Structure 1
């Protein structure tokens, strides 16, 4: 009887952990979705390049997380991670810096709509294929329906919100967007693997340290001011670093402990939805019928990910159980 009860309780616990992880990834995506507004407000007060802002965002997160580790006396855990998993940590840190850089440059070449659709849309497709090959079976109809719904919603939200956006070199922009989406998928895959063996706080601390080491040297070659004394710009830079980087990635890696990478990147499509809603509320930008339909489709798809039979990947056991 005890064995039967445990057998029944285990799948239920896995499902509860899956839902918790899905909420954490969606929470991270909501925070990321506010980043565009913060970047815009910074550039209104200080004309920094997006790469410069990204570098300080990463560096701010690294400092805050290191202080948190020291306060919690968990610094040795970061040293242990760097010694035992140096390659994986480098992949996650460099990958995170790279896919953001590819995306920002892609936007300048082909516009926001195409960059967002290609980069964010490619990642869940690639990871769904990878997981299907690993499991040696095709995705279930439910998973394919969720993925198709999410991608259609992404297209509607992105194109409706940025229909007039263009760029000087569309071919280069699309190539960079593909590079961003591919790097994002690979980074999520690597992060999902290492997150099951270490604390999300420790992993995010190591990732931001590596990312800052990659991005800060670029300040020597980018155009525009490299620092700012404007208090508003500094406040929004702190917001980007603390909330949209440090907190958001702790949530992401916590979610990846129990949610498959393809599920996580599909749920991250909440990011452009959040950006559209924030722009409508704060900047009074209108949401047309297509954008509203896209928002509804993305939210329905993310809600569908809560069903294990329709999740865009396997339901993983909780490593902490």
Structure 2
């Protein structure tokens, strides 16, 4: 059994935190859409814009200067484009198939893309963790008879490719650009890129206390804080572990739905949750060398 160093342990904890916080984002996003009558693309645009604004304000209050090097600017533009691509593709997949199929395909395919993009042959324990992740997702999210389409699966795979590319890209640090700054300016750039597309469906936001509160939460916690933790964790963890940590999003969402809304999970779903946790434990204790 390999023993994680304190630095690797902190990185893994940051990735786990990001996955859990993302799980609350799905519920918050759905609630915002219901309260404000917004299209999912508009919810995604507000998520990135508010999250980017909150993180940017925090960065500026800390006295961090704006990126001034060409390499840092290119990284922020690339991250913003990947944020927009991931969000737009995912919600297109949801519209063309279903939430379950889009989520399972996107999050399940992302670690596969990261593995295939690696230069080395993956370790056998990595393959075990990857197989367990895919099996757990199928058990947790799959609903027999649910509508699917080739177009929906295609957009889900595009979203997975975007998330995997973001994971691989941000695993390589840029001098003078910290994870929080990358999150702040990347989210803002992604939100601005997504706004013209989302505006077609309408982005009027009712100025009610509950709507504004949910909007602020969606932007600050499962977006700004979660992505900052994710990018921080990637600095000392293998990108594949980062992609695998994303499976905590549907797992957390399923658990919260059961606790908060009384939704009953089937025996199959509980088995899937157990398999997902076991797969993550294998990935943590037998990490792929960087």
Corresponding residue to 1:190 among 169, 174, 182: 169
Q: Equivalent residue of 1:34, what SS? A: helix
The structure 2 residue matched to 1:105, chosen from 76, 86, 92, is: 92
CA distance in 2, matches of 1:84, 1:225: 33
Q: Does 1:124 align with 2:111?
A: yes
The residue that corresponds to 1:95 in the other structure is: 82
Q: 1:250-261 alignment to 2 at 5 Å?
A: 250-261=228-239
Given the two structures, how large is their TM-score scaled by the length of structure 1?
0.85
Distance 1:67 1:225, change over 3 A: closer
C-alpha distance 189-108 of structure 1, shift in aligned 2 (>3 A): same
Q: Deviations over 1:38-96 (max 9, x none)?
A: 1222233221011111111111112111211221111x2x3235x33332222211101
The alignment's C-alpha RMSD in Å is 1.9
Residue of structure 2 equivalent to 1:7 = none
Aligned length: 289
- Closer, same or farther in 2 for the Cα pair 1:255/1:180, shift >3 Å? same
Q: How does 1:142-157 map to 2 (within 5 A)?
A: 142-157=125-140
What are structure 1's unaligned runs of at least 5 residues? Answer: 1-10, 316-321
**Residue ranges of structure 2 left out of the alignment (5+ in a row):** none
Question: Which position in structure 2 is the counterpart of 1:80?
Answer: 68
- Residue in 2 aligned with 1:56? 46
Distance 1:36 1:84 in 2: 33
Contact 2:179 2:232 in 1 (8 A): yes
Q: Give secondary structure in 2 for the equivalent of 1:48.
A: coil
Does 1:68 find its partner at 2:55? Answer: no
Q: Are 1:25 and 2:15 an aligned pair?
A: yes
Cα distance change, pair 57–196 in 1 and its aligned pair in 2 (3 A): same
Distance 1:44 1:220, change over 3 A: closer
SS of 2:289 mapped into structure 1: coil
**Residue of 257, 275, 278 corresponding to 1:279:** 257
Corresponding residue for 1:314?
289
Deviation at 1:164, TM superposition (A): 5.8
Identify which range, 210-219 or 243-252, moves more after superposition: 210-219
Asked whether 1:37 is paired with 2:27, we answer yes
Q: Is the 8 A contact 2:27 2:253 kept in 1?
A: yes
- TM-score by structure 2 length? 0.93
Aligned to 1:158: 141
Partner residue of 1:15? 5
Alpha-carbon shift at residue 260 of structure 1 (Å) = 1.4
For the pair shown, which has the larger CA radius of gyration, 1 or 2? 1
Superposed structure 1 runs of 4+ greater than 6 Å apart = none
The correspondence for 1:234, drawn from 207, 212, 217, is 212
Distance in 2 (CA, whole Å) between partners of 1:166 and 1:27 is 32
- Retained in 1: the 8 A contact 2:42–2:198? yes
Take 2:175 and 2:129, find their aligned partners in 1: how far apart are those partners? 25
Deviations 1:265-301 (A, max 9, x none): 0111111100100111111111111110111111111
